[in-house]
Structure 1
């Protein structure tokens, strides 16, 4: 095929489809880092024809992106992100932006508890992101009366002032937000749904995320390792409810990646029985009204932080807070983190952080 010359390079998406990724599920090949980087630059510049872009996204979904491709996509995205680092080094919580539809969103409550216990936490999301377009972090905070449509520097100040911070995708990652309509017309998730969760707008050194299968957690760790932008010390991922960063009740797998002082990395996985940590109930017990996930989640958050609930939701919030505390190594064990979380709720410190957020 003749070389294609352009301001981007030699690999327009149509050529990548014809020669590399679009030939079929068995014959498709992986892209080089250079090819994937060029593809992402073209996408963010709005260069591809809409039909070609949709075909490219779908071909990537069928083929399954490897870590090198995801790292290339993420690094190009990072060129467009407006980073704002707080003085604190928080835990970056990157839940699926397209939200939850049946169970409570516990990450706000868990993050606030962790923050009150001395572990700063950052969360980030968009607003009704495709494909599910369901409730996410932003919508719970809106229901709680916390400002969410913040510029990145304001988000960093929120972290330093309260211990908990929210970063709003349209403000810190406008290039990805600009793809909303194209993503919505796809009807299925694309690799953009994956990389937006690791934007890490606060440049935190610890990332907490979720997975359906352990193989995905390993792929995400390999993505961080292959990234030329990210420089993380620790990654903690677990089997989350609805793909979100709320740990599911029952027998749960946890993946842990750490960089040692000598620069050597380790990847381990272990199982926890959540009943041993107070979550002795079933998945459906954390369900809420499907027509008002954000509203119900906000009410649960208020009641748990005020110490007015000592039920399954309080247990789930405490355990999720413990994992955030453990992720940053502010507790040596999950048990120790759980004790810190429960003491923080009982003392009223967690409720005070929520009030600080409302006043910010």
Structure 2
């Protein structure tokens, strides 16, 4: 048994009256001991559920991210005209709505803005369809070694950090999520994890407003210069179409002070009001994505234009959201987004042959 970990567990697990928040250093130490399995299974499970009940602070999330940076994978900086967008999506996947972020990544990369995503396989508690599954359906297998992900990222502007292969220490904690039956604070922290060593723009989905505040505090402590928070589809970064998109546009100065601008985007003002595209099966979703990449009109195309237009504007490529929507449409109808997917397929196929 880890006596050092027991003291940290006692601190957060003592109830509403005597319990205390961890400092950033303590959260780093606790996360490190869990990742390295220096704490016992009983201690890890107890910590996760106690932390879940009490809710993490921004300072604790920053400490957890410190441990991920120390022990986890990191894609190295590449030369680019724009900061790399790092999308934080819930690892436990999608069950109700189509993931748009793959199409968003392809048009951003086609326009010159690099993109990094991260995630794993099907994961509790939601057990939804993971992003890696949709990428695989489009012909991209991210189970390659990290050095080869780096080469693909440098060549195409798109990278994906895949937990089972690239961060087995974090993958080792996944069974605890199923056993405790609840999302632990790790699931919150993952939304703002940035496995990229260069100039990054962190984009994070959220559901509950208090989570956004935690993100702001953690990112300020971590000196992340630019970030975006999105109350998106199923907690993702995908903008909804059936309601106003609630977005936070954040910057952090050298003193660690946060400036957050609230942006509310009604899709009807841009001609995209309607139902979110439902997720039927992965196979039908992948076929629908391929149809969009072929430039064919559909409800998914509308969702892709809505998201693409916003992110092309947010990353600084387009002068306005409307201009971004028009540029996204050109990238789809002229085949540039599809060509980016083909580049990605060719790069990863060449790597598979080398292996």
TM-score, normalised relative to structure 2: 0.89
Partner Cα distance (1:326, 1:37) in 2 = 35
**Structure 1 residue 357: Cα displacement:** 1.5
Q: In the alignment, is residue 208 of structure 1 matched against residue 195 of structure 2?
A: no
From 96, 100, 107, the equivalent of 2:94 is 100
- Tell me the SS of whatever aligns to 1:79: helix
Per the alignment, do residues 50 and 143 of structure 1 end up closer, same or farther by CA in structure 2, a change over 3 Å counting?
Answer: same
* Native 8 Å contact 1:22 1:28 kept in 2: yes
Unaligned runs of 5+ in 1: none
Per the alignment, do residues 315 and 187 of structure 1 end up closer, same or farther by CA in structure 2, a change over 3 Å counting?
Answer: same
Q: In the alignment, is residue 61 of structure 1 matched against residue 49 of structure 2?
A: no
Per the alignment, do residues 65 and 264 of structure 1 end up closer, same or farther by CA in structure 2, a change over 3 Å counting?
Answer: closer
Partner Cα distance (1:167, 1:323) in 2 = 24
Deviates more, 1:242-251 or 1:45-54: 45-54
**Runs of 4+ residues over 3 Å off in structure 1:** 259-265
**Structure 1 residue 81: Cα displacement:** 1.3
Residue by residue, what CA displacement relative to the aligned partner does 1:203-239 show, whole Å, maximum 9, x if unpaired? 3510111111333222112111113xxx432101111
Unaligned runs of 5+ in 2: 348-355
Which residue in 2 is equivalent to 1:174?
168
* Native 8 Å contact 1:104 1:296 kept in 2: no
Partner Cα distance (1:333, 1:233) in 2 = 21
Matches within 5 A, 1:1-360: 11-12=4-5, 14-18=6-10, 20-87=11-78, 88=80, 89-203=83-197, 204-227=199-222, 231-249=223-241, 250-259=243-252, 265-283=258-276, 286-289=277-280, 292=281, 294-308=282-296, 310-360=297-347
Per the alignment, do residues 253 and 154 of structure 1 end up closer, same or farther by CA in structure 2, a change over 3 Å counting?
Answer: same
* Native 8 Å contact 1:33 1:72 kept in 2: yes
Residue by residue, what CA displacement relative to the aligned partner does 1:176-206 show, whole Å, maximum 9, x if unpaired? 1121222221211001112233332223510
Partner Cα distance (1:71, 1:297) in 2 = 35
Partner Cα distance (2:302, 2:330) in 1 = 13
Partner Cα distance (2:72, 2:173) in 1 = 14
Per the alignment, do residues 91 and 335 of structure 1 end up closer, same or farther by CA in structure 2, a change over 3 Å counting?
Answer: same
Partner Cα distance (2:96, 2:256) in 1 = 42
**Structure 1 residue 56: Cα displacement:** 1.2
Which residue in 1 is equivalent to 2:353?
none
**Structure 1 residue 240: Cα displacement:** 1.0
Per the alignment, do residues 111 and 278 of structure 1 end up closer, same or farther by CA in structure 2, a change over 3 Å counting?
Answer: farther
* Native 8 Å contact 1:307 1:346 kept in 2: yes
Partner Cα distance (1:278, 1:178) in 2 = 45
Number of aligned pairs? Answer: 342
Per the alignment, do residues 331 and 214 of structure 1 end up closer, same or farther by CA in structure 2, a change over 3 Å counting?
Answer: farther
* Native 8 Å contact 2:220 2:257 kept in 1: no
**Structure 1 residue 344: Cα displacement:** 1.1
Per the alignment, do residues 187 and 57 of structure 1 end up closer, same or farther by CA in structure 2, a change over 3 Å counting?
Answer: same
Per the alignment, do residues 59 and 146 of structure 1 end up closer, same or farther by CA in structure 2, a change over 3 Å counting?
Answer: same
The alignment yields a C-alpha RMSD, in angstroms, of 2.2
TM-score, normalised relative to structure 1: 0.88
- Tell me the SS of whatever aligns to 2:245: strand
Which residue in 1 is equivalent to 2:351?
none
* Native 8 Å contact 1:251 1:272 kept in 2: yes
Which residue in 1 is equivalent to 2:352?
none
- Tell me the SS of whatever aligns to 1:185: helix
**Structure 1 residue 264: Cα displacement:** 6.0
Per the alignment, do residues 136 and 278 of structure 1 end up closer, same or farther by CA in structure 2, a change over 3 Å counting?
Answer: farther
